[in-house]
Chain A
Amino acid sequence: MTVKRRTILKGLGATAGATALGMPAIAQGAPFKIGLMTVKTGPLAQGGIQMEQGLLTFLKEKNNTLTGRKIELVVADTGGNPAGAKTKAQELIERDKVNVILGPLAAFELLAITDYVRQNKTPLIAVAAAEDVTQRSANPFIIRPTATSGQCSHVMGEYATKELKKTRAATISEDFAFGYEQMSAFQRVFEDNGGKVVKKLWPPLVTPDYTPFIAQIPKNADCVFNGFAGSNPVKFMRSYADLGLKDRIPLLAGWTAMDDALLRSLGDEAIGVLSAAFYSAASEFESNKRLVAGLAKDYNVLSGGYAAGMYIGGQCVEAALAIAGDKSNDGTAFAEALHKVSLKDSPRGAFSVDSKGNAIGSVFIRRCERQGKDLVNKVIKTYDNVSQFWTYKEEDFLKNPVYSRDYPPAKNLE
């Protein structure tokens, strides 16, 4: 196994930078400690490595100093499982005494540590999408500047019915919570707008070949919404094209299924796929240009949602440091400051944090196109100020059970 934990202190570079700019050479007291929980081994490694790269790009840009305070970064590899996440969270909080945790990647990892960070009053900036962490069991120590599972899917449900005029959808996603939440959110808006979800397919997380599932998609469906994650979308889209469906039934995708970081792994089979995401590597925001350039230069990778999520996480730390000031070392005060964050420029554009801790920001509809040799997700429509509750009333939304495999019930299956 690789080195599980590293402490990265770019002291020399930061000091040299500070001197060159004529800033005071003496830092204010102890450094502010960020603990990054990520995954660098196994099937989730791609997203996990991007998380680290995104955060490092941000810290490098800031010379490892935010609002005058030196930053010390501790990186922990959870291995992508709840037990590993719990162990690493304990290490970060009790041994390394970090001021804030960024990550972890997967929903079941986040759920394994939410109570623990609350007990220890350690603020956490999440990327994992589990709805209830910012809804029915909102945790005052957690914010999520990216999106809930359903946040982008609601928008795709709207776009598919209002703009594409689709009426008969099939959905397909992994058989786990992230899949259920994405698909059910799509179904709710799609059916509230008059469409019908006629088939829901749930392949297991590990599926060597998707053909048995794709073969079950009804021939008379007029769109297919998929919510695959990790490396699964690459396999799925190739089979979808190989079986001749690409030209017959348009494919719609959630943000992980068409993440920009996957574009280099995809070929012609991805062209024309429409996706809804809180981020697009092709967008023109200043900080996004810096993020994309930084990742290309230092790591030769395309920036995707996970890298952007952690870059934004870094920006949230900076903003909260400015708000909390001297009280930043107090976990409760810093968590309150995080809830007040509102950024004008981030790689996802402007966004703010709602009372439950989730971002209200733009969601982009992107079409995959070929530009020269490369594939890009070109933004074709932007929905601004999208909340995790979509257009539903917060109280009503929260009265319903959380999105699941059976909620809302699918009444139009054929």
Chain B
Amino acid sequence: MSSLHLTLAVNSVAMGGLLFLLSSGFSLIFGLMRIPNLMHGSFFMLGAYIGFSMIGKGMWFWAAAIGGGIAMALLGGLIERLLLRRLAGQTLPQVLLTLGFSFMIADICLMIWTGDPFQPPTPAHLRGAWIVGDMVFPIYRLVMVLVAVVIAALLWLLVDKTRIGAMIRAGVDDPEIARAVGIKVSQLFTLIFCLGAGLAGFAGVIGAPFLSIYPGLDAEMLPLALIIVILGGSGSLLGAFVGSFIIGFLFNFGQAMFPNLAYVILFLPMVLILVLRPQGLFGKLGS
């Protein structure tokens, strides 16, 4: 294994971590609520912009990341409660509503933050790189993986070990029966939507020091979340986790080895999965 491959591998893991933060919420929303949330990239971008402005006001980086997440959770909650709720079960109107919101958010961001790209500085204590022989590993990216793993663990605890988690799983498996046995599925919907939006906003701020923030970032991130969820299976956290790292690796190695085919390599697995195993790697049949 050459140093190029090792650098790429480390970077794939870092990218996978960030993608997990983005796609886990998307997966839960898609799995539980059956809403193809086309605003998800917008939550990512708007969260990043808000976090960036907080950092500009002198806020600590991690506090700003959580702030960006909370702001998006609130916005997501509002949209879910006031608008999406009325469209329950109607896929096409939901797609149009979330798509419409994504355009609106993009334009509002352009108005407030102009077209200038922003890149918040990497937090001072995480700057620099570990240099091993010929190779360089930026510390911040390694920390990002750590954050993603911690959040993955927390989500897993929430979904697998708590009562709410049991209700969420029940809702994913069969919403009608879950309702029939007295689970308030509609409250779960709001909770999950807030959580998903919040994670996307948080990911936006965390990713900003190396992705930077600019008009169009939303449209770049949304397809990645889509591929991961189709690959991993909707509603499956494990699927989102594995899918994120698969895409992280495909992205990095695909671009380095076959730059002309970068997007083919990225989307081909999605096509194969859709044809051969439509429920995704870890999704359940019929869900």
Give A contacts to B, CB under 8 Å.
Answer: 1-2, 40-49, 175, 201-204, 206-209, 211-213, 215-216, 219, 230-231, 234-235, 238-239, 242-244, 261-262, 264-267, 301
Contact = CB atoms under 8 A, between A and B. Distances in A.
B215 A45 contact: yes
B138 interface: yes
22 contacts: A41-B110, A41-B215, A43-B216, A45-B114, A49-B114, A175-B259, A201-B259, A206-B216, A208-B211, A209-B15, A209-B211, A209-B252, A211-B11, A212-B253, A213-B255, A215-B8, A234-B117, A234-B212, A242-B141, A261-B116, A301-B114, A301-B116
Contacts of A230: 117, 214
B40 to A, nearest CB: 15
A345 B85 CA distance: 62
A202 B259 contact: yes
Contact of A212 (B134, B211, B220, B252): B252
A132 to B, nearest CB: 24
B117 A231 contact: yes
Given A215-B7, A238-B209, A2 B111 contact: yes
A242 B110 contact: no
Interface of B: 4, 7-8, 11, 15, 103, 106-107, 110-111, 114-119, 121-122, 129, 131, 134, 136, 138, 140-141, 209-212, 214-216, 220-221, 224, 251-253, 255-256, 259-260, 262-263
A215 B119 contact: no
Contacts of B211: 208-209, 235
Contacts of B110: 2, 40-41, 45
Contacts of B251: 208-209, 212
A230 B136 CA distance: 27
Contacts of B252: 209, 211-212
A47 B220 CA distance: 20
A238 B210 contact: yes
Which of B118, B211, B212 counts the most A-chain CB atoms under 10 A from its CB?
A: B212
Contacts of B15: 208-209
Contacts of B256: 212-213, 215-216
Given A175-B259, A211-B7, A215-B256, A262 B215 contact: no
Given A215-B8, A267-B121, A243 B253 contact: no
A265 B8 CA distance: 27
A321 B106 CA distance: 40
A2 B11 CA distance: 38
Which of B103, B114, B253, B260 counts the most A-chain CB atoms under 10 A from its CB?
A: B114
A238 B212 CA distance: 9
Contacts of B259: 175, 201-204, 213
A45 B115 contact: yes
